[in-house]
Structure 1
Amino acid sequence: MKHSQNAIVTSRIYAPEIGAAAFRLEATAKQMTSYGPVTVLTGTLPKGMSEAKPHPKLQIKRAPVKRDKDGYVRGLLPYLSFDLPLFFRLLAQPKPKYILTEPPPTTGLVVACYCRLKKVPFAYFAADLITESHEAIMPKFVVKLMQRVQKFILANASVVLTINQDMVAPAKKAGAKVVEVVQNGIDTERFQPPTKPLNPELAERYGITKPYFFYGGTASDLQKAGIFAQALIQDPRLADYQLLYLTQGNEQAELEALAQAHPTKILVHGLASPDIAAELQGHAIASLASIKPGNGYDFAYPTKMYASYACATPIVYAGVGPAAADISDNNLGVAEADFTPKAVGQAMVNVVAKQTVPAKKKAMRDNIRNWVCEHRSLQKTGQRAAAYVEKYCA
């Protein structure tokens, strides 16, 4: 059976659903159409969300998936609700010229098995890797099992794409033969610096009455995002600032308890649309991001940081790795490796100090916007990824 000229992308989520993987794959799939038609096999959208404007050479095929209580395809059963039918969905498609897939490993395993059976090359977008350090957050036998699955996937992929240079050596150690780096990116057209003052109705809705810090996205055991609230509460130099969380995750109850205890300082709300998040982020004194060191994700780079940079807003980052290095090397905010409220509070004070002089504040924010447009635009991310997939798989 001959290969069709059609390429396939498989992912449990896909734009317009909000998520780093969804946006990254959308950008890549669109750029892949320059080499031929593309079919995306993904899950149905959450209730209330409608399909984006169609692309002439891009076909999106959705199938039902199980979602958790927060509406995400996350966890073993939701993963399997997508992965098990995926094998048969692939069999129902004309044999493609190649496939692009990404984590979780269960999805990668299904694609690797199909491709081995049908002799189809595939690329694996390794946005994260299972390493021994994951034993700190999951049982050892689970880590060992997932590492075996991961090794099978990486060893059979024609190319493995990683999101930063720090992941190249671990990917090769885990079994990858060819590894290329494709940095994550952000839609710099959607996320832009504000041109008007903060909408008063928006400020009232979210309880904003003072200059504020902004935390958007997941707050879980991985992020330990409550450290920022603790820092703001404990440091008297931050008494005239608020902290706005737009978030979800297993830290939500802890954050809401802090908000009840400090209702004028800690503001906790659910996730908002990208447009609202962009406006709130753009007017913040700084955005906040964190990954607690030592949890096996020190190489990770929260994509929400790019959204902040696109809005020309500096970051206070609590953590280590490439995200911290970019901040230090390019004057994008303040990074703090000491994961304590005292040290993080000092970092928040420092980012305020960098913006007390209007001319310096403008220069800093212009630099941040220019840096992300030049180095981390989503369009360039998609172009690089699509070119690597075509190079190694076609």
Structure 2
Amino acid sequence: MAMLWSRISAALPLNEEQFPLQFNDKVESSVLEMLKRSRHQLYSDTTSASRMLNAQIVLDFSWEKLNTGTWRHVDKEWRRVYSYGCLFKVAALCREEPSADEVLQALKTCDMGLLMGAAIMDNILQVIVQILQSEVRESTKEEDESEHAQVKRIKIECPHVPVIKEELAVPRIKCPSLESFNTNYLLPLKPVILEGIIDHWPALNEHPWSIEYLRSVAGCRTVPVEVGTRYTDEEWSQTLLTVNGFIDRYILNKDGAAVGYLAQHQLFDQIPELKEDIRLPDYCCLGDGDEDDITVNAWFGPGGTVSPLHQDPQQNFLAQVMGSKYIRLYSPEDTDKLYPHQSQLLHNTSQVEVENPDTERFPEFAKAPYLECVLQPGEVLFIPVQHWHYIRSLELSFSVSFWWS
């Protein structure tokens, strides 16, 4: 740990004058003064306790701003203030001889800045994360090896795969041309399974995704986790856990605990190693937006996790990397038979439990035609905009979805 601070300080500006602190007038002068004080402490001799106190004041004040009102109304300047607070806290934790726990705390602080803050100083928090992560990997290599051995001893249960009737099966096509896909599926908005289009992904080849691989590249990273079988359940909630903690509690735990699901759109920005293992499908170029407008989502969880019948406002490529999923699709033309929730919050979600419908409450549901499939690793399902879809993981599963217009 002795060399840790020298590596972190090498990533920072050389001196106080070169360290930027520029905000608009929405940030109070008292907060700006506290930021300047923390900056000065970064380049001067003072106690760790004093550094930590000032950093925590910045964090507490900006955290209150981030949690006042709805997220979309939070001014980006306050997200930047929060990121600076995270940076100063990491410096306080790592400046002197940090313990292993302090390094992990610093790593979590960076992740909180990446999740809740905004990029500052050429994304300095991401740079520091890489430094901290290499430190953690070195110090926990032996523990990792014993954990990996434990994972290999876990019995992998064979999923019960539903039988798909031929007349209800989503059509399949292998590597269609852009023109063919556009004419036959995109323009008429018809679902299709695309085979062979992600075979080149490192996630399926050089770095096959598995529990062991996720532990090795992201085990100590803090990520948002959804707790509950489906987001419409009353007991559904969200929390923050390390990837290792998520795997231990919700993937390997056989004690009947609630289902946990890692579902978020920031994962690949937060953990670039995973982003390098996937590629944008070529067919996204048929959309109207730029590449930056495509939203990439991660979906990682155990068997039994359900996404209730719902629809999305964009086109969707759902790429299956690990495990398998049962999926059912309904046309938006049959929305009146699917009984969407009346509330504005859940208006895009059906009230019906697809595989166990209440026929008395929802008598028209049985009349709605549908297509279905089991999506296997290496396959990509095209879900047209506004098409209703229900998804159930048949086993431990990792999917990547691309939302585009």
Normalising by structure 1, we get a TM-score of 0.27
State the structure with more CA Rg.
2
